[in-house]
Structure 1
Amino acid sequence: MATPHDSAKYNIRSGLPGRETYRRLRIAAGLGAQSVEGSAIGLPNSWYCVTVEYGSATVGMGRIVGDGGCFLQIVDVCVLPEHQGHGLGKAIMRKLTDEVERRAPKGTYVSLIADGPARHLYAQYGFTETAPASVGMARLI
């Protein structure tokens, strides 16, 4: 259960989190660790990113990666557990999808991987399951 927070103190802004903040948010939200090296390469190559700040602390984020013309993928949507339940996931998705609609050419394929009940959040922004026509596949290096 989320602890009470003053929602007026949340600020959602465009921009990248710092590498250590990025890594901390992913781990705390259950997305898993990313390496220092991978974070150093990947973050600056984001197509678009938002962070959620509560006071001076970064408590959430979301990114879009891809070529910006044909394919984009929404990744790293997360909120620290103690700040969940305040509509921050919806606010992150709204900012990300607004940016896609503003900048991406018509016909751009926008994808994401929905873990567990997160699919219900993503469905609110027009994302639909692709199975059985296609399924997500992955390979970890």
Structure 2
Amino acid sequence: MTYTFHAETPSVDDYRRLRAISGLSIKSEEAALRGLPNTCHAVVARADGRTVAMGRVIGDGGCHFQIVDMAVEPEHQGRGIGKRIFADLVAWLRETAPDTAYVSLIADGDARHLYSKQGFEPVMPASIGMAMWVHGFPGRADGLREA
């Protein structure tokens, strides 16, 4: 199968679908409509004209950037697509971001191995990543995360 890569923000429908099927948290249509226009840079991969993977850079455009939404449809995983998207995002940051910019990401599971190949390092013990869900964890009425 041939994949094409495009420097563009995914559509709302593709964004929501890719997050859901790749195991990322679900985002509402309202959240996607608000958030996607604030993308600094994004890359999507297509197979036969259909978006099958994505990754985005968000941030303030100068001081702080974060790599988010790395998602590949399960049937297309293991083919280097995520690696290529991530490399493209990092290349854009190296070309665009000021020298003192801070770039962060959250590495789930084995993804940390991919990220470390591009120069990302754990920040612990000096720092620890923290997060909160504004209205509780998606999918549970009580807002608690499944154990």
TM-score (norm 2): 0.90
Task: Return the match for 2:6 from 1, 13, 25.
Answer: 13
The alignment partner of 2:58 has SS state of strand
Q: Which residue of 1 aligns with 2:140?
A: none
The answer as to 2:40 corresponding to 1:40 is no
Cα distance in 1 between the residues matched to 2:35 and 2:47 = 25
The answer as to 2:136 corresponding to 1:136 is no
Q: Which residue of 2 aligns with 1:55?
A: 48
- For residues 61-76 of structure 1, the aligned pairs below 5 Å read 61-76=54-69
The alignment partner of 2:103 has SS state of strand
Amino acid at match of 2:74: P
List gaps (5 residues or longer) in structure 1: 1-5
Cα distance in 2 between the residues matched to 1:54 and 1:93 = 18
Query: Root-mean-square deviation (CA), in Å?
Result: 0.6
Shift of 1:33: 0.5
Which structure has more relative contact order (CA 8 Å, sep 6+)? It is: 1
Aligned residues: 134
The alignment partner of 1:49 has SS state of strand
Shift of 1:78: 1.1
1:68-119 Cα deviation digits (max 9, x unpaired): 1000000001111100011011101111000000100001000000001110
Cα distance in 1 between the residues matched to 2:25 and 2:50 = 20
Tell me the percent identity: 48
Shift of 1:16: 1.1
1:7-40 Cα deviation digits (max 9, x unpaired): xx20011001110110000000001210111100
Amino acid at match of 2:85: I
TM-score (norm 1): 0.93
Cα distance in 2 between the residues matched to 1:48 and 1:12 = 13
Task: Return the match for 1:23 from 16, 35, 45.
Answer: 16
Cα distance in 2 between the residues matched to 1:134 and 1:110 = 14
Cα distance in 2 between the residues matched to 1:37 and 1:77 = 20
Q: Which residue of 2 aligns with 1:3?
A: none
Q: Which residue of 1 aligns with 2:109?
A: 116
The alignment partner of 2:107 has SS state of coil
4+ long deviations beyond 4 Å = none
Task: Return the match for 2:120 from 127, 130, 140.
Answer: 127
The alignment partner of 1:140 has SS state of coil
